Chain A
Amino acid sequence: MIVFLVGLGSILIIARLFAELFKQFKLPSVLGEIVAGVLLGPSFLGFFFPECFEYLFPFIAHPEFTSTIPVQYAMDAMINISVIMLLFIAGMEVQLPLVIEQGKVALSTTFFSMLIPIGVGYVGVLMLPDLFMVSNGDVGIVGFFIGVVLSITALPVIARILMDMKLFKTRIGMTIIASAMLIDLLGWLIFSVLLSMIDDSESSTSLSYTLISIILFGGFMLTIGSKLIDKSLPWVQTKFSWPGGVLTLSLGLCFLGAAFTESIGIHSILGAFIVGIAFGDSANLRDRTREIIHQFVTNVFAPIFFVSIGLYVNFVDNFNLPLISVLFVLAYTSKIFGAHLGARIGGLSKRDSWAVGVAMNTHGVLEIILGSLAMAAGIINEEVFVAIVVLVVVSIITSAPMLKRIVRKD
Chain B
Amino acid sequence: MNLANQLKNRLPYPFETIAVAVTFSPRYKAVLSEAARISRIHRAKLLLIHVGALTTQQNRKLEIVIEACHIKPEHYEIKQLQGSVVQSILKVCKENVVDLLILGALKKESVLQHYVGSIARKISRTAKFSILLLPDPKERPKRFKNVVVAINDSPKSSFTLSTSVYISNIENATELYIVNEEYIPMFESAYADSSTDKEIEENKKEAITERKEKTNKLLDEIPGASSIDIKQRVIFGKPGHSIQVFSKCKKQDLLLVNSPKKTLGFLDRLFPNHLEYLLEDLPCNLLIVHSRGF
Binding site for B on A (CB under 8 A): 19, 23, 28-30, 89, 92-93, 95-98, 100-101, 103, 155-156, 159-160, 163, 168-169, 177, 222-223, 281, 283-284, 287, 290-291, 294-295, 298-299, 302
Contact A28 B194 (CB under 8 A): yes
Q: How far apart are the CA atoms of A29 and B273 in the complex, in Å?
A: 33
Contact A97 B271 (CB under 8 A): yes
B37 to chain A, nearest CB (A): 34
Q: How far apart are the CA atoms of A287 and B237 in the complex, in Å?
A: 7
Instruction: Known contacts A28-B194, A101-B261, A287-B236; decide if A156 and B189 are in contact (CB<8 Å).
Output: yes
Residues 174 to 202 of chain B near chain A (Cβ within 8 Å) = 184-194, 200
Interface centre among A281, A284, A294 (most CB of B within 10 A): A294
Residue B238, interface by CB 8 Å: yes
Residue B270, interface by CB 8 Å: yes
Residue B53, interface by CB 8 Å: no
B187 touches which one: A30, A92, A163 (CB < 8 A)? Answer: A163
Contact B193 A291 (CB under 8 A): no
Instruction: Known contacts A93-B189, A155-B189, A163-B184; decide if A223 and B238 are in contact (CB<8 Å).
Output: no
Interface of A is mostly: helix
Q: Which chain A residue lies CB-closest to B268?
A: A100
Contact B194 A169 (CB under 8 A): no
Residues 239 to 286 of chain B near chain A (Cβ within 8 Å) = 240-242, 261-262, 267-268, 270-273, 277
Residue B153, interface by CB 8 Å: yes
Q: Which chain B residue lies CB-closest to A291?
A: B188
Contact A89 B273 (CB under 8 A): no
Binding site for A on B (CB under 8 A): 153, 184-194, 200, 203, 236-238, 240-242, 261-262, 267-268, 270-273, 277
Instruction: Known contacts A163-B187, A177-B185, A283-B277; decide if A96 and B271 are in contact (CB<8 Å).
Output: yes
Interface centre among A29, A100, A223 (most CB of B within 10 A): A100
The 5 closest A-B pairs by CB, nearest first: A283-B241, A294-B192, A97-B273, A159-B186, A160-B190
B194 touches which one: A23, A101, A159 (CB < 8 A)? Answer: A23
Contact A281 B187 (CB under 8 A): no
| Contact residues in B for A222 (Cβ distance below 8 Å) | 271
Q: Which chain A residue lies CB-closest to B242?
A: A283
Q: How far apart are the CA atoms of A159 and B262 in the complex, in Å?
A: 26
Contact A290 B188 (CB under 8 A): yes
A15 to chain B, nearest CB (A): 11
Instruction: Known contacts A29-B194, A283-B237, A283-B238; decide if A89 and B189 are in contact (CB<8 Å).
Output: yes
Contact A163 B190 (CB under 8 A): yes
A235 to chain B, nearest CB (A): 15
Contact A100 B192 (CB under 8 A): no
| Contact residues in B for A177 (Cβ distance below 8 Å) | 185-186
Sample 7 A-B pairs with CB under 8 A, ordered by A number.
Answer: A19-B194, A100-B267, A100-B268, A169-B153, A281-B271, A294-B188, A294-B189
Q: How far apart are the CA atoms of A96 and B267 in the complex, in Å?
A: 10
Q: How far apart are the CA atoms of A95 and B270 in the complex, in Å?
A: 13
| Contact residues in B for A97 (Cβ distance below 8 Å) | 268, 271-273
Q: How far apart are the CA atoms of A284 and B189 in the complex, in Å?
A: 18
Q: How far apart are the CA atoms of A97 and B277 in the complex, in Å?
A: 12
Contact B193 A30 (CB under 8 A): yes
| Contact residues in B for A93 (Cβ distance below 8 Å) | 185-186, 189
| Contact residues in A for B271 (Cβ distance below 8 Å) | 96-97, 100, 222, 281
| Contact residues in B for A155 (Cβ distance below 8 Å) | 186, 189
Q: Which chain B residue lies CB-closest to A33?
A: B193
Q: How far apart are the CA atoms of A28 and B242 in the complex, in Å?
A: 31
Contact A223 B193 (CB under 8 A): no
Q: How far apart are the CA atoms of A299 and B189 in the complex, in Å?
A: 12
| Contact residues in A for B188 (Cβ distance below 8 Å) | 287, 290-291, 294
A29 touches which one: B193, B238, B242, B268 (CB < 8 A)? Answer: B193
Q: How far apart are the CA atoms of A184 and B232 in the complex, in Å?
A: 38
Q: Which chain A residue lies CB-closest to B182?
A: A169
A172 to chain B, nearest CB (A): 14
Instruction: Known contacts A283-B277, A294-B192; decide if A156 and B186 are in contact (CB<8 Å).
Output: yes
A168 touches which one: B184, B192, B241 (CB < 8 A)? Answer: B184
Contact A100 B184 (CB under 8 A): no
B214 to chain A, nearest CB (A): 12
| Contact residues in A for B203 (Cβ distance below 8 Å) | 163
| Contact residues in A for B242 (Cβ distance below 8 Å) | 283
Contact A299 B193 (CB under 8 A): yes
| Contact residues in B for A163 (Cβ distance below 8 Å) | 184, 187, 190-191, 203
